[in-house]
Every structure is written in structure tokens, then in C-alpha cells.
Amino acid sequence: MTRSSLSERLAGGLVVSCQALPGEPLHTETGGVMPLMAIAAQRAGAVAIRSNSARDVAQIKDAVDLPVIGLIKREYPPFEPFITVTMEEVDALVEAGADAIALDCTLRERPDGLTPAAFVARIRERHPGVPLMADIATYEEGIAAAEAGVDLIGTTLSGYTPQSAGAPIPDLPLVERLARDTEVPIVAEGRIRRPEQARAALDAGAHCVVVGGAITRPLEIATEFVDALR
């Protein structure tokens, strides 16, 4: 899938994030659960899947006929978790068949000391045709990612970094500002719980919307109901 055809495919649609990290109820040693989530998403009319790990990307690619945005989320102690920050991870995701790669483009100190822009340039050299989605947390990070030449910018990490602590939930003001000030398609992602919020994200200028936990993390969903009954 070319860089521009992915963007066309995503326009106005729902991307379902199908992820279960080790320790989560739907994580298994051999996988097999996230592809079922992806089949449900496809039947509902989702335009793409977002998924964590080369294994899940490969299994989901076998199960559905949708583009998959792949990522590898890992801890690099003493750093906080990062989303795809090494070339080995990018290589593994490309090898697994990912149609696009989501990268950490926050301006936090990275384990490798590179800037996101330098990392993007290295990936472009090695995998020129692969669409790149920048996962960011702040407006400045979004602008820097646009300047680095990424294909999509996601508000994924808003509220999860010290620099974005206390951001609105979901961060539609960030979607709106970035959509106004850059030419790069903005993906509204992170803490979108209800259909009305997804709709509002598009109205705020998002190119497409990613929803994860509200669809694919039953522990989160059940906890919301249990909490409401307390």
C-alpha cells in the first residue's frame, strides 16, 4: 500500500486498535484473540486495524482484508514505555506485513538519543515506501512530526507523558489545532470512549479516528460498568 493510498483508505473512517499486552486478560502466549477482534471490526465496517507486535500484525493480516498499522510498545528502563523506537522493531513490523508503522514522535529523551526527525529520516532511507504514523502528545510534537515528513499524526499519547499531563479527555482541542495548522492528516486517537466523541473528532478536523479499549479491552469496559454501580 502506497503512502497516499493508505491515507485515502482511512479517510473519514474508524480504525480499531486491537491490542492486548502481556498481563491483560486477552493476551495469550500463542495469540489468536486479536485476529478475532479484527474480524469483528472488519464486519462492523472499520477501515483499518492498529496492532501491537509483529506476531499480532501477521495474525491479523491473515484474518482480515484491512490495512494494519503496526507498532511495538516496549519499556526501555529507566525510560517510560515507548512506541516503536528502534530500527529492529521497524524491520520486524515490515517483515510481518504491516501496511504502516506507528512511531513514538514525542520529544521525550529517547533510549537511543536520536530525535524523532532523525529516526524518521533513517526509516525513509531503509523502507522508502512504508507509511509512517507519528504518535504524539503535544502540539509542538505534532508540528515537529509534520516537519519530519510523516504521513499521519496521531494524538495517541496525549495525557500519557509528563508534558501532556492533564490534557482534555479525549484531546479534541489538540486534534483541532493540528488539523488547522498542518497539511498532514490528523488521526484522533486516545481515550475515545463513545460514538459521539468519535463523530466530534471528525467534526474537529480529524482525518480518521482510532478507538481501542472501548471496543477491544473488555476489562476496561466492564470496569466502567462496575464503577458506575458503586
Kindly tell me which residue out of 70, 131, 142, 213 binds ligand LRY, with binding defined by CB under 6 A: 213
Closest by CA position to 66, among listed 79, 55, 57:
57
Of 133 and 144, nearer to ligand LRY (C-beta) is 133
Whole-angstrom distance, CA of residue 58 vs CA of residue 60: 5
Q: How many residues bind ligand LRY (CB under 6 A)?
A: 16
Question: In this complex, which beta carbon is closest to ligand LRY, that of residue 17 or of residue 138?
Answer: 17
Work out whether 191 is an interface residue with ligand LRY (CB under 6 A).
yes
> Cβ of residue 81: shortest distance to ligand LRY, in angstroms?
6
Rounded to 5°, the CA angle 153-103-64 comes to 85
* Element holding 135 (H helix, E strand): strand 132-135
Q: Do residues 170 and 149 touch, judged by C-beta distance below 8 A?
A: no
* 4 vs 21 by CB, closer to ligand LRY: 21
Q: Which stretch binds ligand LRY (CB under 6 A): 25-33, 56-64, 186-194, 221-229?
A: 186-194
**CA–CA distances in Å: residue 221 to residues 34, 50, 81, 225, 226:** 16, 19, 23, 7, 9
Handedness of CA 207, 212, 213, 214 (dihedral sign): positive
Q: Given the complex with ligand LRY, which of 167 and 179 has the nearer CB atom?
A: 167
- Residue of the chain from 63, 192, 200, 201 that contacts ligand LRY (CB under 6 A): 192
Does the protein bind ligand LRY through residue 210 (CB under 6 A)?
yes
Q: Which of residues 80-139 bind ligand LRY (CB under 6 A)?
A: none
Q: Is 35 in the site for ligand LRY (CB under 6 A)?
A: no
> Nearer Cβ to ligand LRY, position 98 or 211?
211
DSSP helix/strand/coil, 65: coil
Residue 156 makes contact with ligand LRY by CB under 6 A:
yes
**φ and ψ at residue 74, rounded to 5 degrees:** -145, 155
User: Does 163 contact ligand LRY by CB under 6 A?
Assistant: no
CB atoms within 10 A of CB 117: 15
The residues of the shown chain that bind ligand LRY, judged by CB under 6 A, are 17, 19, 71, 73, 156-157, 160, 189-192, 210-214
